[in-house]
Structure 1
């Protein structure tokens, strides 16, 4: 069986363009490291999304029937980790970027944040065609298109951060964006914790 309808990629692209834990870290790296030095992070983002969506798609459906509390545990762990990343960004925003004292985003941090990203659940459980999991060829086709989309949009977020660093928009300082990014991460963390504990 082959995948016939590729319109799901448009929905995925829209979701990938929205701010979230991974995009926030990519933009932050663009601010502190620039476009060229941040580009290698894209491979870790792609790897994180491939691992996450594959796990959710192949395991979660069967696990949820017998152990529904597993999703709550995953949400709490994800929320705590993303809150930690938010704290690090908030502290980083207080440093002077001109002196290059801002800590760079570590590849492993980006990989884990992507692995725990709630968007991966939506992609695997709701947006990927059912045929994705029925054959190796379908899986390769869908994942190949998905990875190209992830890398392209991730590069846009890094470029956005590097534009902030260039000072072209004087009204929007990198420190302000990083504070906003930290608040965004905390917002995601609170949402995950609430849904993990009370739902």
Structure 2
């Protein structure tokens, strides 16, 4: 059947439940985006972290659509490009971990650094290993070939709607800690803990290097 065939209502409902559960679990569990958002929420507050949060949400949605529309074929033709992107992303995550570990509290009413901008957060998705895993998982498992393009639009919409409040939970968690962590040393220790979790998220890539 054609890729553009409109799926039936029954097919959509059968897909919607599992897809929503997948989107929720992968969006709300710890990963580079959520760890960075929690740290940003603590350091800069919820309001100043909103552009970062929206950049992650819309950047991932666009990435999912582009990969689904055929960008993955580029990596099949040039597998080395995916490998390069993966290790560049790992190196960038290490840099971000170092930056988070160095982040401190408010200093005389001014921030020691700036939160991620919308564009920075959106572009970061292309070097985020978890974002790639989520994209591949959605496309392979939840976008049947019958009516593929319609299913891709549905998958992107579901992921976008579920992903945003899931990210907001992590920002709110970090922002809430501002009321509990008043001492600069406590904030520094929290950020160091987030940085270590970010480094730990690179475990699968480390395994590839060792094996």
**Alignment counterpart, residue 133 of structure 2, candidates 122, 133, 158:** 122
RMSD, matched Cα: 2.8
Cross-structure match for 1:104: 114
Residue pair 2:55, 2:122 contacting (<8 A) in 1 also: yes
**Alignment counterpart, residue 184 of structure 1, candidates 197, 200, 208:** 197
Could you say if the C-alpha distance between residues 64 and 113 of structure 1 is closer, same or farther in structure 2, counting changes exceeding 3 Å?
Answer: closer
Task: Please tell me whether residue 44 in structure 1 is matched to residue 55 in structure 2.
Answer: yes
1:88-99 superposed matches below 5 A: 88-92=99-103, 95-97=104-106, 99=108
Residue pair 1:20, 1:188 contacting (<8 A) in 2 also: yes
* 4+ runs deviating over 6 angstroms: none
Instruction: Give the C-alpha shift of residue 23 in structure 1.
Output: 0.8
Equivalent pairs counted in the alignment come to 195
Instruction: Give the C-alpha shift of residue 20 in structure 1.
Output: 1.3
Instruction: Give the C-alpha shift of residue 31 in structure 1.
Output: 0.6
**C-alpha distance in 1 between matches for 2:76 and 2:48:** 44
Instruction: Give the C-alpha shift of residue 91 in structure 1.
Output: 1.2
Instruction: Give the C-alpha shift of residue 78 in structure 1.
Output: 0.8
SS in structure 2 of the partner of residue 40 of structure 1:
helix
Cross-structure match for 1:142: 155
Structure 1 gaps of 5+ residues are none
**C-alpha distance in 2 between matches for 1:71 and 1:133:** 28
Larger radius of gyration: 2
TM-score using structure 1 length: 0.82
**C-alpha distance in 2 between matches for 1:190 and 1:123:** 17
Deviations 1:159-184 (A, max 9, x none): 000011111799x9332221011112
